[in-house]
Amino acid sequence: MSRIGKKAVDLPSGVTASVSGQSIEVKGPKGTRSFKATDDVTLTVEDNAVSVTPRGKSKRARQQWGMSRTMVANLVTGVSEGFKKELEIQGVGYRAQMQGNTLRLNLGLSHDVDYEAPEGVTVTAPKQTEIVVEGIDEQKVGQVAAEIRDWRKPEPYKGKGIRYKGEFIFRKEGKKK
């Protein structure tokens, strides 16, 4: 039995969900998102909550049960609150700034890195050493944050690079004489 799948996803005020066949569409104050479930689960909307139930007792149906419920919960969270990833930049001369829809990064390379934010995701740089990635699609927000972090991952000796806010970097001791 899926512990996650058993719980129904509550719809907060201002959020509506409609099911047609195997696809669900969720509308909220931040936008509209949809998800198409596999044939192994059944989606139903009742009493201002979305419930997911497996069809049969096969292993695949049980796997899809919890995953589908989590996907629906992410849709509801995205259209009501949105998702946010914060990045910190550490290092002398490392900085970020927005120029329109483009994030310009100075990361100690021989050139500046220009990152064009994809549609549906907003990237802001409130300070020169902070980057905030926001959107209603959790996967896109995480992917954009990971792509930005990939330009200069934090290194273990001095800790320089781009890291997630609150991320712990295991520090190594340098060479000894």
- The kind and range of the H/E element at 25 are strand 23-28
Rounded Cα–Cα distance for residues 5 and 64 (Å): 9
pLDDT on residue 5? 85
Supply the CATH classification number for the domain 3-80.
3.90.930.12
In CATH, which of 3.40.1190.20, 3.40.50.720, 3.90.930.12, 3.90.1150.10 is domain 83-164? Answer: 3.90.930.12
pLDDT on residue 68? 93
Q: Where are the domains of the chain?
A: 3-80, 83-164
Q: Identify which of 117, 34, 24 has the alpha carbon closest to the alpha carbon of residue 78.
A: 34
C-alpha dihedral, 44 to 50 to 54 to 55, nearest 10° = 10
**175: confidence class by pLDDT, cuts 50, 70, 90:** confident
Rounded Cα–Cα distance for residues 84 and 144 (Å): 11
Q: Is the pLDDT of residue 1 over 70?
A: no
For 121-139, the pLDDT digits (tens) are 999 999 999 999 999 999 9
For 60-114, the pLDDT digits (tens) are 998 899 999 999 999 999 999 999 999 999 989 999 999 989 999 999 999 999 9
